[in-house]
Amino acid sequence: MWADIDLRAVRANIEALMEAAAPAAVMAVVKADGYGHGAVDVGRAALDAGASWLGVALVEEGLELREAGICAPILVLSEPPAEAASVAVAASLTPVVYTEHGIEALARAVAEAGRDPLPVHIKIDTGMHRVGCAPARAVSLAQVVHNHSELTLEGVCTHFAVADEPGNPYTSEQLHRFRAALTELEHAGLRPPIVHAANSAATVARTDARFDLVRAGIAVYGIPPAPVFDGRFPLRPALSLRAQVSHVFELAAGASVSYGLRYRLTRSGRIAVVPIGYADGVPRVLGARGGQVLIGGVRHPIAGTITMDQLCVDVRDHAVEPGDEVVLLGRQGDEEITAGEWAARVDTIPYEIVCGIGPRVPRRAWD
């Protein structure tokens, strides 16, 4: 089993996002190991294609990029815990901040390291209600940053809760709150040079939300942020998940397959075994929800419960042999199975599908 990562697709997606967002710059969000695609390879490809920033969730993720030799600006999208401040400073990461405690910890780490002032971005909670400061506190927090010679207020940002629902008026409400906070910062002489709010969905759907920088996540990987965006934007999936048939055997009509014996053959036929399972990120219930794989460019149903390390495929009377390639996600011939298809079958989102591909699946990045 393996996952192919098409870096040409990543570059094409970045170029399309840059064209849509212009004149705003593009940040490629590569948290969670590049949404399961490989943060270092994707980060390099995105920067090669013209992205100006990379975004991560954790200081450790930013450090991995630095250790790989990536020198571009890296934004840590949540305020680092105090114990990680010194690492963030040493790695020249740009942290998001939204508490006085977090600001003080970073300023202290800069002073202890004797480093140049560290750029930070204030995050305002305009309605996502996850992390960020209240809009009414933006000016006071900006003043705290300004009062520390160890820090520079480089940016201010927010995050949308329902940008993937284009008809939902809540995004406009959030934008209104954000713009009001920006006005207050400007009146106080504290508005920073970089303002950003748009995720992938808002980059595509909200020209009024692009500001100076857009933070593209799922679209970098060629996956629409929601089904409503299918076909609205030129995206190329970057990941395909593949394996090889390991065993083929005959079963008589009436025989049942895998744990629970829930898949029963109504006629005699052939079962192909594929050495990949839920430990590798294939949802255990996918077979029961109509999941299929591609072998020889033909869709075949997954037979029965997916187990930890293997799954079975009902290939009927097709000429399938051990060693044949199996495509679980991706294209083979004229057929394609997408992360969105899996997500619809198991009632989740494509983000969870690609992020869930396990670490024992080798990633093979190629140009």
Whole-number Cα distances in Å, 114 to 38, 84, 90, 102: 33, 17, 10, 18
Q: Does residue 343 surpass a pLDDT of 90?
A: yes
pLDDT in tens, 285-312: 999 999 999 999 999 999 999 999 999 9
Which of 134-140's residues contact partners 24+ apart within 8 Å by CB, and which partners?
135/177, 135/178, 135/180, 135/181, 138/181, 138/184, 138/185, 139/184, 139/185, 139/188, 139/190
CA distance 58 to 66: 13
Question: Which of 4-18, 150-164, 190-204, 229-243 bottoms out in mean pLDDT, i.e. has the lowest?
Answer: 229-243
Q: Is 123 in the active site?
A: no
Q: Is residue 259 among the annotated active site residues?
A: yes
Residue 275 confidence (pLDDT): 98
Query: Tokens 């939204």, residue?
Result: 98
| H helix runs in the chain, sequence order | 7-21, 31-35, 39-49, 59-67, 85-90, 100-113, 138-147, 170-187, 200-205, 339-346, 350-355
> Residues 31, 98, 278, 351: which is the catalytic one?
31
CATH 3.20.20.10, applies to 7-221: yes
Residue corresponding to tokens 């910890």: 105
Does the pLDDT of residue 175 top 90, yes or no? yes
DSSP letters, 219-271, are GGGT--SSGGGTTTS-----EEEEEE--EEEEE-TT-EESGGG-EE-SS-EEE
Q: Single out the residue of 367, 348, 345 nearest to residue 356, CA to CA.
A: 348
Q: What is the pLDDT of residue 114?
A: 97
Distances (CA, A) of 112 to 45, 87, 90, 93, 103: 35, 12, 11, 16, 14
Listed in sequence order, the residues at least 6 apart from 7 whose beta carbon sits closer than 8 Å to its beta carbon are 41, 42, 45, 238, 365, 366, 367
In this structure, the dihedral spanned by the alpha carbons of residues 306, 311, 317 and 322, taken in order and rounded to 10 degrees, is 180
pLDDT in tens, 52-88: 999 999 999 999 999 999 999 999 999 999 999 999 9
Q: Which percentage of the chain shows pLDDT scores above 90? A: 99
Residue pair 71/96 in contact by the 8 Å Cβ criterion? no
The active-site residue, picked from 35, 170, 259, 263, is 259
- Give 126-145 as a DSSP string: SS--SSSB-GGGHHHHHHHH
* Residue extents of the structural domains in the chain: 7-221, 239-366
pLDDT category at 218 given cuts 50, 70, 90 is very high
Q: How many whole angstroms separate alpha carbon 93 and alpha carbon 121?
A: 11
- Amino acid 232: pLDDT: 83
Q: Return the DSSP state at 286.
A: T
Q: How far apart are CA 312 and CA 273, in angstroms?
A: 5
239-366 placed in CATH 2.40.37.10:
yes
What confidence category does residue 231 fall into, taking pLDDT thresholds of 50, 70 and 90? confident
Q: Is 186 exposed, middle or buried (0-12, 13-18, 19+ CB in 10 A)?
A: exposed
Task: Tell me the pLDDT tens digit for each residue of 232-287.
Answer: 889 999 999 999 999 999 999 999 999 999 999 999 999 999 999 999 999 999 99
pLDDT in the model for residue 317: 92
* Average pLDDT value for residue range 337-352: 97
Assigned token pair, 140: 């006071």
- Give the pLDDT mean for 174-189: 98
CA–CA dist 287, 301 (Å, integer): 7
Q: Is 300 helix (H, G, I), strand (E, B) or coil?
A: strand
